[in-house]
A and B are shown apart, each in its own frame.
Chain A
């Protein structure tokens, strides 16, 4: 069973792989827009990756105001 820690780790890994940013440079409390240098359109790609990886649906309105990996992982965890 996934814990919030493993989910956070998976999110960081997915973001690192998709946006080609070294994993060691990403931290749970980072603002992923700033850290990954992405806009809302690219954030949708991350959302798609997350939905595919965790086999969940995460409506984008649930991500309103979410900009750090930790909160994103919490939203995912609530769908697992």
Chain B
């Protein structure tokens, strides 16, 4: 499929560049609908990448790039299952996300995340799949999972560790604090910071530069410098599933679900 318009996202390909656009209210929370369409995308990627050289992931949502996993759906789906089956249910979801992430991470394309606003949790992890992150100056990155008694589970820890120093990973993980685009650039996470509303434009200009180069050289360079940490990714899933069974997590998720605040896990 050269183009697709779904319930949560769409894509099209032109001039050697694929644009994947997330668009699910309120802030692209990743639940089963988004996952299903991301799976369609990675299936289509097999064909798309034959004619394309770059991929841009972005979102027009005013609130931000992506607020992460749809925790309300996660909680309700989990509660609908008998307690003994809950971990298996969440593991299945997380492993599916990992297959999608690994496919995008390994794609023989130059991949660019054009982010803005809230880029939290699973949204941050989605950006970390990409080779380059172009961030609007109002972007904030955060791993709030520990506030809920969990760890990131979409591959965020090994991929952040791949890109920045271990001390930075511990800071973001253990404090759950959010950082702005300038700080993210200073630690080497973001390649370019743009003016407000300019991230997608800059990502497109960057993609236009990338597609001028030999595709084989791009793929070889990427494979050399951006290995996929499969063993640690698997470990992350195991730790997440182990933590998920604890009563404190269920209580934290319930509190989140019952809250009416826009970002209930923040101060």
Contact = CB atoms under 8 A, between A and B. Distances in A.
Given A45-B138, A48-B140, A65-B267, A40 B262 contact: yes
Contacts of B267: 40, 60-61, 63-66
B49 interface: no
Interface in B29-64: 63
B178 interface: yes
A60 B180 contact: no
B91 interface: no
Nearest to B137: A52
A36 B122 CA distance: 29
A57 interface: yes
Interface string A48-69: 1001100001011101111000
Contacts of A44: 118, 140, 178, 263, 266
Interface residues of B, number: 20
A5 interface: no
A39 interface: yes
A44 B140 CA distance: 8
A57 B180 CA distance: 9
Contacts of A63: 267
B162 interface: no
A49 to B, nearest CB: 8
B182 interface: yes
B63 A52 contact: no
Nearest to B64: A41
B215 interface: no
B177 A61 contact: yes
Interface in B61-111: 63
Contacts of B179: 57
B262 A52 contact: no
Interface string B122-162: 00000000000000011010000000000000000000000
B245 interface: no
B191 interface: no
Interface of B: 63, 117-118, 137-138, 140, 175-180, 182-183, 261-264, 266-267
10 contacts: A42-B262, A44-B178, A48-B140, A51-B182, A52-B180, A59-B177, A60-B177, A60-B266, A60-B267, A63-B267
